[in-house]
């Protein structure tokens, strides 16, 4: 993973996140490696909006506490969309182990204002009226090489909170 410190400053750590009711919490002890907006139809349907927002954190830097997460949003092979069992908020997504990241839903982060999307994925499914001001766009989901390059660019260019 790239160094996440730069002339832009340091991230304020740890970061915390929680579901709507507060029963499921996350603590992130490392900064995100990338922030994204996903325009896939699955995210549109799961959020009830035009896209989902996520912040990718190194898996080992995320501690999950409180209620036992429940899998939901079925239909995306290799991705486990995890929800609070009490309020059913979509809190995070587990990706295949090879990626080494856990995607936290950015609006669930307790101070989400500084977690703007740096990249967008599934641009091919973006609704025609949507414009997101991002540095990078991917027609589909980025492969490992593209993800590594995007993470390196994010480490250099992204604003810190």
Domains of the chain: 15-155 (3.90.1590.10)
Other residues' Cβ atoms within 10 Å of the Cβ of residue 97: 9
Strand partners, 7: none
- Residue 9 is predicted with a pLDDT of 63
Distances (CA, A) of 5 to 13, 32, 82, 140, 157: 12, 11, 29, 28, 10
- Residue 75 is predicted with a pLDDT of 66
- Residue 161 is predicted with a pLDDT of 54
CB 148 within 8 A of CB 136: no
DSSP 61-85: GEEEEESPPEEES---TT-EEEE-T
pLDDT tens, residue order, the chain (161 aa): 444 443 456 788 999 999 999 999 999 999 999 999 999 999 999 999 999 999 999 999 999 999 999 999 876 777 899 999 999 999 999 988 888 999 999 999 999 888 899 999 999 999 999 999 999 999 999 998 999 999 999 999 986 65
Other residues' Cβ atoms within 10 Å of the Cβ of residue 150: 21
- Residue 1 is predicted with a pLDDT of 40
CB 93 within 8 A of CB 82: yes
**Which residues lie closer than 8 Å to 132 by C-beta, 6 or more apart?**
37, 51, 117, 120
- Residue 6 is predicted with a pLDDT of 39
């Amino acid at each position: 993973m790239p160094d996440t410190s730069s002339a832009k400053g340091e991230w304020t750590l740890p970061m915390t996140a929680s579901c709507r009711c507060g029963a499921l919490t996350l603590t992130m002890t490392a900064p995100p490696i990338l922030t994204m907006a996903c325009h896939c139809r699955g995210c549109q349907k799961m959020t009830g909006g035009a896209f989902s927002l996520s912040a990718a954190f190194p898996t080992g830097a995320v501690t999950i506490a409180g209620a036992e997460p429940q899998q939901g949003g079925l239909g995306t092979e290799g991705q486990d969309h995890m929800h609070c069992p009490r309020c059913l908020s979509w809190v995070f997504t587990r990706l295949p182990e090879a990626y080494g990241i856990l995607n936290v839903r950015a609006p669930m982060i307790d101070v989400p204002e500084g977690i703007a999307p740096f990249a967008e994925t599934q641009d091919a499914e973006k609704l025609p009226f949507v414009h997101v001001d991002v540095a990078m766009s991917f027609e589909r989901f980025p492969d490992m090489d593209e993800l590594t390059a995007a993470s390196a660019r994010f480490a250099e260019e992204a604003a810190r909170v």
